[in-house]
Amino acid sequence: MPDAYFLLEEHYHKLARLEHALTFLQWDHMVMMPPGGSEPRSKAIAELTSLHHEFLTSAKTGDLLQEAAGQATTPSRNRSLQEMEQEYQRAICLSPELVKAKSLAGSKCEHDWRNQRKNNDWPGFLKNFKEVVGLAQEEAQARRDFTPGRFSTPYEAMLDLYSTGDSNSFIADVFTKLKHTLPGIVQQVVDKQKGDPIPDLQGHYPIDQQQLLNLELMKCLEFDFDQGRLDVSSHPFSTGCRGDQRITTRFRETDFFDALLATAHETGHAGYESGLPLEWDGLPAGSARNLCIHESQSLLFEKQIFLSRPFISFFSSRIHTFFPTTAPIDGSQLWAAATRVQPSYIRVEADEVTYPLHVILRYEIESKLINNFIQADDIPEIWDGKMQEYFGLSTAGNYRDGCLQDMHWTDGSFGYFPSYTIGALNGAQLFAAIRRAHPDWQEKLADGDVNFIRNWLRKTIWAKGSTMDSQDIIRSATGESTNADYFLQHIQERYIDELY
Amino acid sequence: MPDAYFLLEEHYHKLARLEHALTFLQWDHMVMMPPGGSEPRSKAIAELTSLHHEFLTSAKTGDLLQEAAGQATTPSRNRSLQEMEQEYQRAICLSPELVKAKSLAGSKCEHDWRNQRKNNDWPGFLKNFKEVVGLAQEEAQARRDFTPGRFSTPYEAMLDLYSTGDSNSFIADVFTKLKHTLPGIVQQVVDKQKGDPIPDLQGHYPIDQQQLLNLELMKCLEFDFDQGRLDVSSHPFSTGCRGDQRITTRFRETDFFDALLATAHETGHAGYESGLPLEWDGLPAGSARNLCIHESQSLLFEKQIFLSRPFISFFSSRIHTFFPTTAPIDGSQLWAAATRVQPSYIRVEADEVTYPLHVILRYEIESKLINNFIQADDIPEIWDGKMQEYFGLSTAGNYRDGCLQDMHWTDGSFGYFPSYTIGALNGAQLFAAIRRAHPDWQEKLADGDVNFIRNWLRKTIWAKGSTMDSQDIIRSATGESTNADYFLQHIQERYIDELY
């Protein structure tokens, strides 16, 4: 008779195979599918999602988890069991009625939002959004109540879905420091850059050549094309499974740089996924730890490697070979263009210096909203106040470029935003550790060598999967818990001292 | 309390959603997936296949079918029930052990065959193949025994999987006529064409331009790109679902014509699938009737429309615009090149006049093999004898170009081959009916108008799905059961009289 843990592994492998199917059906949906496929695809995805939920929340899972918990086993199996238990609890703590209502309200709100944003229609949006907020509050409450004492507020239970293991008080502390430091730094950088000429990179860059250029960048970043591919979608993303990483980017004929940034970013996500521990493949312990670490990998590839002076000098010489009819690109000019800082309305277009302030603004609003200290109606006024405070910009009456700009809240993904900034801090902190371990890092990047970085990350981050808590991973890699110091040092070095 | 039939519809819709997932995971596997994805993909496909089998063969299906059979209902529901019953019986009549053994032996035989064919290694192949044949005989026997009195031989039970509803004796009669007529006609055509110059179409045709040319052909054949797409795979195929037809072709730089033939062929398959009856969508009654009708649609598009003199004249003028640096293509030259007839070893490269003889040869061998009148060891000698009889060619010692050339037998798909030729007869017979209904068919095709054909097929064939027996569909569309007359007339008109 096989033991309960062994049976649990079989059970979770089955779940992983359903997740595999869902992953690639969704990739196809975003990248390949013609419009006519929409209805049958949605039905197939809903069917598999519901089968997955059924298996995960079955009495069998609960019974096996209980049985396995009572059996003596190894520490690594205990860890694996703990991650299985967490996945199970996250699924079983919500009633099927709530899950369904949430999915319906979220789909409607997101669908209508696309036009409401265009039309600056806050009152129209608010009608759907109140329903989404109400259900999200219910969800947050149910998640908190399911493990009494674990989360101090309902919002923290939502936050934990994305920033798993990084507590709300920890994140709040880090954000407080950034919030008080960054506006002054932004002002300093803006003043410093005021006199600099803005290099003009606009031109005509044929898409098929851009495609080749992005493949070249992936090659330079050591992406393995036997284990993945690059495609095009309206918003860049990364998905796939071990052995088959699918990343996407998007092209504009007048600009080649944005696509490269997206490609470098998604190559980082793909690197993490490709290096997850083989011995826990298909099990919760073998999954990516949390979004704060996932985003640290993408930002490390995008901001720390690709945007670094030595790498961009190395790579800029290649760019010209793909666009022989346009003038050669000068590495320092490209770097100057890519490191311009400017307070602005739109988060996704923000530079890395102002970006955290966009995130903190959202965090401050969504945490109060989910914990019921403010109402959905209050958001535009609070948004405008914070925009004035952090950026000196007003969004009064301008919902389109204010609280209607993001998709995250429309389907109830409250708690997602903080991972972008904790990811940026992790990325800078990890890169600082890599620099300490490889004092010749600049020479290496100038030669286009990134393997020393991949190897370091593979060992310290990727291979850990979810076999440790997030801060244990960060501490074992860098010697410290996540903090703002290395990010602020990076901003100082790049934007004030103009070193790298 | 919903009635049993209603519950069955829900149950089969769930099965259809799993089939949807399998369809697109397999498409991705063939068209998009990098090599590294192979292992997890195989596991996910196996998991979904086994879930599908589990649902289909569950006690629930059997109970509901029995219950529904006892309830008064409408004729169309009865028909739908009958098709559900057939799908259920086909799945439940084999033991899980046999299904698994067959799948393993078939995979191994097919995998090893790829090298064995290259190496002309019949003895090596025979070792695996005997296992495949043994299991196929077991399968055929089990299928026949499950519905006593329905199939006269084990082979007929296999044949029915592909040619559903077209009996073995019916097919044998038609094949006997062809077998006695065609060799003489082949000789007549070969003699006739002996003096003709062979137009040389070899040249340099860039793949990206060929891609555009094939999209142009699909447009001319009224393929709806909002409901499907064209991609590349090593062997052309067609798959997908309502609203999302995925077809593939393959390109060679030195020749543009083969890809066009494949594209026209697969566009015909896609047309059939796109026109299946909406009211039975996702149910067995709404599926394609059988492969004899499926293949008739692809061959009608490829041989009757695309290869017709008026359409090829219309289309050949467009070809040049895609290859402006090569000499213009003359329509009659293209037609002359495309209608050359030559007895040859390889089925997939055969012209439409000799093709049926390749199929009849295989049918005669596989039926005796599955009914245990000959042994696998006997095949090369019988193959050689029949090649000499039908083509005047010997394959003695040349297994590579003889009995090792096809993939179908390697995984035990005995009974598949006849549908190619019954499909060709159906295609010619349907096109003759279309010509009678549209006496101006040549003018229309010369103008690039194919909608009158699509509309006729949609009404008489596509919209019927599996709501009627195959020969009832053919009779209601053409006034006669499938017979060889129209195919032979077509061969006479195209290859002897050189009319169309």
For residues A262 and A234, the answer to whether their CB atoms sit within 8 Å is no
Chain B residues closer than 8 Å to A51 by CB: 51
Interface of A with B in 242-261 (CB under 8 A): 242-244
| Residue B87 near chain A (CB below 8 Å) | no
Residue B244 pairs with which residues in a beta bridge? B241
pLDDT over threshold 80, residue B1: no
| Residue A55 near chain B (CB below 8 Å) | no
| Residue A42 near chain B (CB below 8 Å) | no
pLDDT over threshold 70, residue A184: yes
Cross-chain CB nearest to A227 (options B34, B225, B240): B34
Report the residue of B11, B24, B54, B218 to disrupt the A interface, i.e. the one with the largest count of A CBs within 10 Å: B24
Beta strands in B250-360 (DSSP E): none
Partner-chain contact A244 B34, CB within 8 Å:
yes
For residues B101 and B131, the answer to whether their CB atoms sit within 8 Å is no
* Phi and psi torsions of B148, nearest 5°: -55, 140
DSSP state of B255: B
Cross-chain CB nearest to B226 (options A18, A35, A44): A35
Partner-chain contact B40 A14, CB within 8 Å:
no
Query: How far is B227 from chain A, CA to nearest CA, in Å?
Result: 5
- CA dist B261 and B292 (Å) reads 19
- When mean pLDDT is compared across A373-377, B114-118, B325-329, B412-416, the lowest value belongs to B325-329
- Summarize pLDDT for A27-41 with one digit per residue, the tens: 999 999 999 999 999
Residue B239 pairs with which residues in a beta bridge? B246
A:B CB pairs within 8 Å: 106
pLDDT over threshold 80, residue A2: no
Chain B residues closer than 8 Å to A36 by CB: 224, 226-228, 242-244
Q: Alpha-carbon torsion A78, A84, A88, A89, what sign?
A: positive
From the list A354, A483, A357, A500, the residue with the least C-alpha distance to A430 is: A483
Residue with tokens 């209508």: A112
For residues A307 and A493, the answer to whether their CB atoms sit within 8 Å is no
| Residue B36 near chain A (CB below 8 Å) | yes
Across all residues in chain A, what is the average pLDDT?
96
- CA dist A467 and A289 (Å) reads 8
Chain B residues closer than 8 Å to A38 by CB: 243
- CA dist B296 and B288 (Å) reads 12
Residue A180 CA neighbour count, 13 Å, CB half: 6
Cross-chain CB nearest to B17 (options A43, A241, A242): A43
Chain A residues closer than 8 Å to B38 by CB: 243
Partner-chain contact A20 B43, CB within 8 Å:
yes
Query: How far is B41 from chain A, CA to nearest CA, in Å?
Result: 8
From the list B463, B468, B366, B495, the residue with the least C-alpha distance to B419 is: B366
Residue A105 pLDDT level (bands cut at 50, 70, 90): very high
From the list B276, B268, B226, the residue with the least C-alpha distance to B247 is: B268
Q: C-alpha distances in angstroms, B120 versus B116, B347, B402, B404, B413?
A: 6, 17, 10, 8, 22
DSSP state of B432: H
Q: What is the mean pLDDT of residues B483-493?
A: 98
Residue with tokens 């062979």: B198
Chain B residues closer than 8 Å to A32 by CB: 32, 229
Helices (H), A339-396: 355-370, 379-391
For residues A277 and A306, the answer to whether their CB atoms sit within 8 Å is no
- Summarize pLDDT for B168-205 with one digit per residue, the tens: 999 999 999 999 999 999 999 999 999 888 888 888 99
Task: State the DSSP string of A122-179.
Answer: HHHHHHHHHHHHHHHHHHHHHHHHHSTTT-SSHHHHHHHHHSTT--HHHHHHHHHHHH
Cross-chain CB nearest to A34 (options B33, B41, B227): B227
Residue with tokens 């808590």: A469
Partner-chain contact B40 A227, CB within 8 Å:
no
From the list A142, A166, A130, A136, the residue with the least C-alpha distance to A418 is: A166
| Residue B14 near chain A (CB below 8 Å) | yes
Q: pLDDT at position A93, please?
A: 97
- CA dist B321 and A230 (Å) reads 31
- CA-nearest residue to B281 within chain A is A40
Cross-chain CB nearest to A34 (options B21, B24, B226): B226
| Residue B44 near chain A (CB below 8 Å) | yes
| Residue B21 near chain A (CB below 8 Å) | yes
- CA dist A340 and A331 (Å) reads 15
- CA-nearest residue to A14 within chain B is B47
Q: pLDDT at position A329, please?
A: 83
- CA dist B500 and B331 (Å) reads 12
| Residue A28 near chain B (CB below 8 Å) | yes
Q: What is the mean pLDDT of residues A490-500?
A: 95
Query: How far is A334 from chain B, CA to nearest CA, in Å?
Result: 32
Residue A1 pLDDT level (bands cut at 50, 70, 90): low
- CA dist B282 and B20 (Å) reads 9
ipTM (interface predicted TM): 0.94
DSSP state of B194: T
Q: pLDDT at position B127, please?
A: 97
Report the residue of B22, B51, B55, B283 to disrupt the A interface, i.e. the one with the largest count of A CBs within 10 Å: B51
Secondary structure class of B249 (helix, strand, coil): strand
Which tokens go with A18? 């359903």
B333 alpha carbon, distance to own chain's centre:
29
- CA dist A422 and A289 (Å) reads 13
Query: How far is A363 from chain B, CA to nearest CA, in Å?
Result: 38
- Summarize pLDDT for A209-245 with one digit per residue, the tens: 999 999 999 999 999 999 999 999 999 999 999 999 9
| Residue A228 near chain B (CB below 8 Å) | yes
Query: How far is A44 from chain B, CA to nearest CA, in Å?
Result: 5
Chain B residues closer than 8 Å to A226 by CB: 34-36
pTM value? 0.95
pLDDT over threshold 70, residue B148: yes
Query: How far is A33 from chain B, CA to nearest CA, in Å?
Result: 7
Q: pLDDT at position B329, please?
A: 83
Farthest-apart Cα atoms in chain A, separation = 76
| Residue B37 near chain A (CB below 8 Å) | yes
From the list B303, B335, B336, the residue with the least C-alpha distance to B453 is: B303
Report the DSSP pairing between strands B244-249 and B228-232. parallel
Q: Is B8 exposed, middle or buried (0-12, 13-18, 19+ CB in 10 A)?
A: buried
Partner-chain contact B14 A47, CB within 8 Å:
yes
For residues A411 and A134, the answer to whether their CB atoms sit within 8 Å is no
Residues whose CB falls within 8 Å of the CB of residue B326, separated by 6 or more in sequence, listed in order:
B203, B204, B205, B320
Q: How far apart are the first and last CA of chain A?
A: 60
CATH architecture designation of domain A109-199+276-500: Orthogonal Bundle (1.10)
For residues A11 and A81, the answer to whether their CB atoms sit within 8 Å is no
Partner-chain contact A17 B228, CB within 8 Å:
no
Task: State the DSSP string of A80-137.
Answer: HHHHHHHHHHHHHTS-HHHHHHHHHHHHHHHHHHHHHHHTT-HHHHHHHHHHHHHHHH
| Residue B41 near chain A (CB below 8 Å) | yes
Residues whose CB falls within 8 Å of the CB of residue B498, separated by 6 or more in sequence, listed in order:
none
Q: What percent of chain B has pLDDT over 90?
A: 94
Q: pLDDT at position B179, please?
A: 96
For residues A280 and A465, the answer to whether their CB atoms sit within 8 Å is yes
- Summarize pLDDT for A259-277 with one digit per residue, the tens: 999 999 999 999 999 999 9
- CA dist B152 and B132 (Å) reads 22
* Phi and psi torsions of A158, nearest 5°: -75, -45
Name the amino acid, one letter, at A35: P
For residues B223 and B240, the answer to whether their CB atoms sit within 8 Å is no
Q: In what order do the strands lie in the sheet with A228-232?
A: A228-232, A244-249, A238-241
| Residue A20 near chain B (CB below 8 Å) | yes
Domain B122-500 CATH assignment equals 1.10.1370.30: yes
Query: How far is B272 from chain A, CA to nearest CA, in Å?
Result: 16
Q: What is the mean pLDDT of residues A166-183?
A: 96
- CA dist A120 and A129 (Å) reads 15
Q: pLDDT at position B202, please?
A: 86
Q: pLDDT at position B331, please?
A: 87
Name the amino acid, one letter, at B272: Y
Chain A residues closer than 8 Å to B28 by CB: 24, 28
Report the residue of A28, A211, A278 to disrupt the B interface, i.e. the one with the largest count of B CBs within 10 Å: A28
Query: How far is B22 from chain A, CA to nearest CA, in Å?
Result: 8
- CA dist B152 and A483 (Å) reads 79
- CA dist B215 and A313 (Å) reads 41
- CA dist B271 and B302 (Å) reads 12
Q: Give the Cβ contact number of residue A173 at 10 Å.
A: 12
Query: How far is B19 from chain A, CA to nearest CA, in Å?
Result: 9
Residue with tokens 């990739």: A27
Q: C-alpha distances in angstroms, A305 versus A237, A302, A427, B82?
A: 19, 6, 10, 63
Query: How far is B226 from chain A, CA to nearest CA, in Å?
Result: 5
| Residue B191 near chain A (CB below 8 Å) | no
- CA dist B94 and B142 (Å) reads 7
A114 alpha carbon, distance to own chain's centre:
22
pLDDT over threshold 80, residue B2: no
